[in-house]
Amino acid sequence: MPELPETETIARDLHAMLSGARITGAAVQKGDVLRSVTPDEFMSRLPGTIIVRAWRRAKLIIVELDSGDSLVVQPRFTGALLVERTPDDISARDRNYIALSMRLHDGRVLHYRDIRRLGTVALLSADALASALAPLGPEPLDLALTAERFSGSLRTSRQAIKKVLMDQRVVAGIGNIYANEACWMAGIDPSRAADSITAGEAATLLDSVRGVLQASIALRGTSFRDYVDARGGRGGFVPFLQAYGRGGAPCGRCATPLVDSSAIDGRTTVFCWRCQR
């Protein structure tokens, strides 16, 4: 599932490519991805609007329109926003899975493609968007999230620290890949209760979260299977993963074989039993 680095990459690309573009038409090929509006409403509210900006909040991509509405995309496992400049930009395979299309004034087309159709696209007013975003926790890359504030939020939970890192109400944008990576980088056992993390460990963990997220953003995210950016390109962070996807491989610190477990919330957790405490 695209996490913060992947959705940040897509949002940055869309902003650079589409800000100022006018939507001249919209089509719905597979309406089951829509939330908050019917296919008819989607096709009638978009034409004539101008894309003001694209940005990210948590794992959401938000395309803000001059009408006051925003397209809010949650890609989940196989969703992608693809900009078509020429017919060659979209593969025949991807065309089979296009769910929504928005034609722009200059002939380009913005598509939402979703192979498994588990992602969603909503069209929200400003007030509805504010309500939807209200439950989300702070952004991990926001310097307003201090080590003290982060440590305080951990002390309120007895759940496994990895699970708490993935709780979007505690901190927004982290999913399974980067929770694994951050725990490995910080040398913290992902199964430890969050309220057992000391203030010093919390500061180290926050630094690790920020470090891995920034490193992945610089390489345009992590692509295992279906994640692609708005140009159809793949992320380059896989070779730099230290934990996720490396069960049985030697730990990069101590060479102990990494453990692959599903004991925490049924999700894949990879860690070093020797040097993560």
Q: What is the largest CA-CA distance in the chain?
A: 59
Q: Tell the residue number behind the tokens 């930009």, with chain if given.
A: 89
Give me the helix-helix angle, 199-218 and 147-154, nearest 10°: 110
* Through-space distance between the first and last CA atoms of the chain, rounded to whole angstroms: 27
**Bridge pairing between strands 34-35 and 120-124:** parallel
Which residues are part of the catalytic machinery? 2-3, 59, 267
Edge-to-edge strand ranges of the sheet holding 34-35? 34-35, 120-124, 70-74, 60-65, 51-57
Name every residue whose Cβ is closer than 8 Å to that of residue 235 and which is 6 or more positions away in sequence: 5, 6, 9, 216, 219, 220, 221, 222, 223, 227, 229
Compute the residue count for the chain.
277
